[in-house]
Amino acid sequence: MIKNILFDCSDTLLRFHAKEDLATQLQNAERAERIHNAYFQNEAWNGYDNGELTVEELKAVALSLLDEADRPIANRYLDTFTDHYTPIEGMAELLQELKKKGYPLYLVSDFPPCFQTLWERYDFFKLFDGRAVSYEAKGSKKNLRLFKYLLETHKLDPAECLFIDDLDYLVANAEACGINGHRFVGAAELRFYLKEQSIL
> What are the residue boundaries of the structural domains of the chain, listed by start?
4-15+87-196, 16-84
The domain made up of 4-15+87-196 has a fold known as Rossmann fold (3.40.50)
Burial (Cβ within 10 Å: 0-12, 13-18, ≥19) of residue 139: buried
pLDDT at 61: 93
More confident residue, 22 or 141: 141
pLDDT at 80 over 90: no
Closest CA relative to residue 145, chosen from 168, 153, 11, 5: 153
Return the DSSP state at 68.
Answer: G
The stretch 60-74 carries a mean pLDDT of: 93
112 Cβ contact partners less than 8 Å away, ≥ 6 residues apart: 48, 49, 51, 55, 134, 135
pLDDT at 22: 87
For the chain, what percent of residues have pLDDT higher than 90?
86
When pLDDT is cut at 50, 70 and 90, the band that residue 140 belongs to is: very high
pLDDT at 43 over 90: no
C-alpha distance from residue 44 to each of 14, 47, 63 (Å): 23, 5, 12
pLDDT at 78 over 90: no
Return the DSSP state at 42.
Answer: S
